[in-house]
Chain A
Amino acid sequence: MTNKETHNDYSDELEEVWSLFVEDGREALDLVEETLLGLESNPTDTGQVARLFRGLHTFKGNARMMGLSVIELLAHHAEDLVALVRDEGVALTSAMIDLLLEVLDCSRVMLNHAMTQRRDADAAQVEGMVARLEVMLADNTRNQVFSEQPSVSDDSADDTFVLSVDEGVQVPEEPVSVSTEEFILVEELVDPSTDPLYVQIFTEMANDEVSRLHTALDALAGGEVEESIQEIAVITHNLMHAAERMGYDHLVALLGDLDAVVEGWDSEAQIVELKRLGLALSQELADIQGVAPSTGSGQARSPEPEKSVQPSPRGPSRDRLVEQLQKTVSEALTIEPLLPDEDIVYEDIFDAQPSQRPLRSSDSLSGIAGGGAAISDLSAVSDAARLFKQWCAVRACDDLARLDKVMDELEQFVRQFLAGSSGLMWDEKLALVNEAAYLLRAIYQACVFYKLEQAAHLTLAMEDLYVRVAQEEMRVDEALLDLTRAYVTQLRHAIESIRGGETPELAALADLLGQTKEMLYLHSESHISQATMAMLDLLNLPPEFKEVVTPENLLEISRALQAGESFYTVLADLNYDGEVGQSFYRWSKSDTVRLITNVTVFQDKRSLYNFLLATSESRESILETFARMDPQGRYLSLEECSLREGVNLEEAVSDQVVREPVHRTGRVVEAQGAVSMEALTGFVEKMGELVATRATLHRVVERLTEVDLIETVARLVKQSGYDWQRVRRELQISLGSWINDLSGLAQLEAEMGAVVDQFQEVALALRARPAAEILNPLQRLIQNVAQHQGKMVKLDIEGANVGLDHSAMDILADPIHRLAWFAVAHGIEKPVQRLEAGKQATGRVSVAVSKIADHVQVVIEDDGRGIDPDATLGRARELGWANDDSIPADKLSEWVLREGFGLVGGSHCYDVESIDLAAINADLQARRGRLSVASEPGQGTRLSLDIPLDTVVIDGMVMRAGDVHYVVPIEVVRRIVKPEETHLVHSSADGGQRMLRLDEELVPIQTLAGNTGGGISQESLLLVVETGERGVALAVDELIGQQQVLVQPLQGCLTDIQSVSGCAMLGEGDVGMVLDINRVTA
């Protein structure tokens, strides 16, 4: 081959390489750009950093391959910078990103240049950027605390080197090579068995191979000799190679034995030997993974050689190991992991004490399986998963005993009042809690082994409790300790019964399961925590208690309130004087004291305990007791929580609590004083009841859902040979218990409903604020205006204590202020004019707030000059609304409120006397409210604002017209009439409107959307409702009855529905339209 030919061949290849270089290069730079942009917003995203590095690395490597050293140089420096971020924890700064973006742009330019010119860029092009990268690299390297890899000298900085394990390959033509010896100084060879990833890969691979091995052994036993032997040989070799690389000598030896049997295979009698070796292999693998049930396998690297003799004092590692073993064993042998075999002979396994276990792991199987007897029947113990359970079963009593000890230790914490306190000794406690959890997990396996199904459930539930404690979702308290101890005792009895060949007594375990579930339920965070917080706010407890108060504590609080006890907090320093601690502890446990909870507080370097307690003892008597315990008064200090008197309480809740109880119906009677203590007591008490009821409800529902009635009936009928008479009694029993549960459910529902109703009321009251918040500032406003205009005004306010929903407040505040202003500025005359008009010099303005059913009404009245009828008429004429000179009285108020009327009382918007009533009305209408005006020239003006309450409970009359349900407030219902024909008349005056003759009066009849046939028949019922002077008879198809409903505002497009003020949930999913009676009667 001539040089020229070679060159030609080469140039074809070269073309291909060039085009790949450009393609790869663009892709790499795109990746760089994408990651840099991502990192701009999230510079700590390690995944992006890794991708950025890879992009630069690829680009650099390719450039290098092409011999484009300038391009390579720049990319190399950029890569080094990113390496600092990726590997050394240097923070990626925006300056770095900016510079890297510059590198990116420059690299793109150079890549294009290289593509067209087939040559490298000019070194000058990158010089500046490389220098800046170097500075940045140097700065960030200096800042690092880590030391640079030491042994590669700067001389070796040239990036061409060749290394090998067994010899350094010197490449003469290269300027510098790094020798192997130098290199090994830098990094010792890693022992694969200490490298977690190596071990993991090995384990996974070995598990797969062992699983194949067992399949092959089964096939061998099934007679497929040749293929199976071949397969086993392959598996053995694969494993051998890997085990050698990992340095697992013992495993290698075992595989050697296996290989020898396979190699010298001559009879099927050797199957037993192969199976033995197969199991030994599984066992050895388990040893390697550090979960060997036997000790001293001879495997030097077995990580936890002592593991099986005593439970490790610290949980998590064993926990992990137990899981691993379970996984490995069940995977390796592909046998259903959780079902114990029917034919296990329990007695056999209990003689195998740990001390008797042989040293070699392969033999230890026999120790467990046959109490030290020789392995004669391997097939009976081939289930390694079951072996694991057997192992757990053997250990169960030890584990239970240990669990009991853990309880003793945990009790110390509870005793010292430390449980649940933050920080202090938490680590020790956590270790104990974790240990309890993992002991329970092992015990669970034992329960499964003994087929104690309920005990297994109970164990899982118990474990769940401890896991929650570990996650700080609940606290260790005496109840939990007692429960656990009872569990230990009962389970031990059960296991001992089984071991003694007796039938275990299970009732107590079932009972414990109930208690455990209840405790779990109580500690299910979500459903009460909000209520808890609200409660604590109301009780004005020191903030630190919020962290520790549990539902049980709240129940205690409610009991204390009920018992009329006083609440105290005691700040105690109990670490200093043991005597004081002891006597305080005794006192807190005495009958007269109700210890609710405690919390640790830190003061300087001291840790103190703050106790919340309730007692009927007087303050003086407590102080006396304390004086005896702590004569110097150094360690105990008492604070009374002013819950009883309600004095501080009022202050504490003043911005949340309305100062009067909300009446559900009718006009609210103005009430005085703070939220009553009864209401608060009720609140706490109801909450406790609610929690308890819900727990019961939960259980009943669970029971109901567990029973498949259809299945039961079907089974019974089938058993009876489809003659249901024969199983009548059984059917009755099944159905009876179902019905019992159902009626229980109904009762619970009713109980809960009642509590929820009361909650609803209190909750609404808590949401409300007194109207005084918007009324009080009026005094000042009005006096200012009056003074400015030289007027004398007296303002009367009514209904300052009316509780208003915050949204009502928002809607009302502005219009009330503007209308009150208008009343003074426009309505009230100057004193001289008033005297001339025969009035008192001082004008009167009154603002009254009241609640009527589901509305808030604000009336602003003045005794001033009234709205000028002539000016109003003039404006109406301008607008083309009025044609003649006569003004019907009702038109006047209609006009001023009609959109477009403009200002009343002045012609400029800056006239202090003027106001745009129509605009205010429009605003209110948008919120489903309205404004009405009545004015008498010379006598005064009455402005009335009306808005529906946002959320309110009303006693409603529910009725139906067609398919639609309607609700009206009960207090507007005057009469319910079943009309006779003679009572129905047509009014000739009102366009044929049908009227109901009611005594001497004619009431217009209003049909409702949904009315069948659109008319009124003798079947119809007429509900006569009235507000103020006006009444109307509503035609309905059915009266459903009186009911308390929660009215909610309409949302979205529904807000446009006229005459409806809201909707109400009626139960069974029906929604009722709450009629706005003001509009219906208007």
Chain B
Amino acid sequence: MGRKRVMIVDDAAMMRLVVQNMLSSDPNLKMAGFASNGKEALEKLAEVQPDLILLDIEMPEMDGLEFLRHARLKSKAKVVVLTSVAPKGSPKAMQAHALGADAVISKPSGAVSYDLEEKRGSELRRTIYRLLGIEDS
């Protein structure tokens, strides 16, 4: 089985970079594409052919919730919504869940600091593995 293709959709360049750093060393995953908003992601969807999409909610042009719908209908990719808002404060995070996101997980906090990287990364990775059916060795 080849490496699974992951697409990152987030308007914050830093977030794209951090998540990329976090996952790029994973032998089972391939960073296949990036987009900074839903509209751009939609345009790239056919070309990128992702197996999994890491999706931010708050974005200009087309937000994550609208793109989520497109992605669900137009792609077989699993969609993981990354939110930096706690569920209490974010009706949108709950909406993402209700609209069919395969997972809604919090953005890795403190991921940049060296000692936390492993822990947060593994949390995200574990979710991805589970959704993509990758055996965690």
Contact = CB atoms under 8 A, between A and B. Distances in A.
B18 A65 contact: yes
Contacts of B88: 148-149, 152, 156-157
B106 A160 contact: yes
A81 to B, nearest CB: 11
A715 B126 CA distance: 80
Given A159-B86, A169-B127, A197-B69, A149 B91 contact: yes
Interface residues of B, number: 54
A58 interface: yes
Contacts of A167: 130
B123 A16 contact: no
A62 B14 contact: yes
A157 B86 contact: yes
Given A58-B58, A173-B119, A16 B17 contact: yes
Contact of B102 (A53, A165, A189): A165
A202 interface: yes
Interface in A32-89: 51, 53-54, 57-58, 60-62, 64-67, 69, 72, 79-80, 83, 87
B33 interface: no
A50 to B, nearest CB: 9
B85 A159 contact: yes
A65 B107 contact: yes
Contacts of A67: 109-113, 116
B99 interface: yes
Among A57, A163, A197, A241, the one with the most B-chain Cβ atoms within 10 Å of its Cβ is A163
Residue of A192, A201, A241 with most chain B CB atoms under a 10 A cut-off = A201
A534 interface: no
Interface in B10-35: 11-15, 17-18, 21
B66 interface: yes
A205 interface: yes
A57 B58 contact: yes
B70 interface: yes
Given A17-B18, A158-B86, A198-B69, A54 B123 contact: no
A954 B86 CA distance: 82
A233 to B, nearest CB: 16
Q: Is the interface of A mostly helix, strand, loop or mixed?
A: helix
A315 to B, nearest CB: 30
Contacts of B110: 64-67, 69
Given A66-B110, A83-B89, A241-B76, A17 B97 contact: no
A65 B14 contact: yes
B126 A169 contact: yes
Contacts of A61: 12, 15, 84, 107
A75 B136 CA distance: 36
Nearest to A61: B84
B117 A189 contact: no
Nearest to B73: A242
B112 A17 contact: yes
Interface string A182-219: 01001111101001011001100100000000000000
Contacts of B14: 17, 20-21, 23-24, 62, 65
B76 to A, nearest CB: 6
Nearest to B91: A87
A72 B89 CA distance: 15
A405 interface: no
B52 interface: no
Given A65-B109, A159-B106, A173-B119, A183 B91 contact: no
A54 B111 CA distance: 21
Given A152-B88, A238-B74, A24 B12 contact: yes
A189 B68 CA distance: 14
A187 B73 contact: no
Nearest to B74: A205
A189 B123 CA distance: 25
A637 to B, nearest CB: 60
B98 interface: yes
Among A148, A152, A160, A246, chain B packs the most CB atoms within 10 A around the CB of A160
Interface in A645-689: none
A20 B87 contact: no
Interface string B69-110: 110111010000000111111110011011111111111111
Given A14-B112, A149-B94, A173-B119, A62 B12 contact: yes
B13 A245 contact: no
Given A159-B106, A171-B123, A183 B114 contact: no
Contacts of A171: 123
B87 A10 contact: no
Given A62-B15, A65-B18, A173-B119, A189 B69 contact: no
A853 B73 CA distance: 82
B112 A66 contact: yes
Contacts of A187: 94-95, 97-98
A69 B110 CA distance: 8
B12 to A, nearest CB: 5
Interface string B42-85: 00000000000000001110000010011011101000000011
Contacts of B98: 187-190
Interface residues of A, number: 67
A187 B98 CA distance: 6
A385 B39 CA distance: 32
A745 to B, nearest CB: 55
Interface centre among A61, A66, A83, A246 (most CB of B within 10 A): A61
B99 A195 contact: yes
A217 B127 CA distance: 43
A46 B72 CA distance: 28
A24 to B, nearest CB: 5
A169 B15 CA distance: 23
A161 B105 contact: yes
A10 B114 contact: yes
A205 B73 contact: yes
Contacts of B60: 51, 54
A57 B85 contact: yes
Contact of A245 (B90, B100, B117): B100
B107 A163 contact: no
Contacts of B99: 190, 192, 195, 198
A87 B65 CA distance: 15
Given A149-B94, A169-B126, A183-B94, A65 B15 contact: yes
B114 A64 contact: no
A592 interface: no
Interface centre among A87, A159, A174 (most CB of B within 10 A): A159
Given A65-B15, A65-B107, A183-B87, A164 B58 contact: no
Given A162-B123, A189-B98, A152 B87 contact: yes
A245 B14 CA distance: 33
A7 interface: yes
Contacts of A174: 123
A591 interface: no
B81 to A, nearest CB: 9
A162 B106 contact: yes
Nearest to A190: B98
Contact of A161 (B13, B72, B86, B95): B86
A400 interface: no
Contacts of B13: 20, 23-24
A245 B72 contact: yes
Contacts of A173: 119
Given A159-B84, A164-B103, A178-B87, 15 more contacts: A14-B114, A21-B112, A57-B58, A62-B14, A64-B107, A65-B15, A156-B88, A160-B106, A165-B101, A167-B130, A169-B103, A183-B97, A187-B97, A192-B69, A246-B73
8 contacts: A16-B17, A60-B84, A62-B12, A87-B91, A169-B130, A186-B87, A190-B100, A201-B66
Q: Give me the 7 closest cross-chain CB pairs, A-B, nearest first.
A: A67-B110, A159-B86, A61-B84, A20-B14, A242-B73, A164-B103, A187-B98
Interface of B: 11-15, 17-18, 21, 58-60, 66, 69-70, 72-74, 76, 84-91, 94-95, 97-114, 116-117, 119, 123, 126-127, 130-131
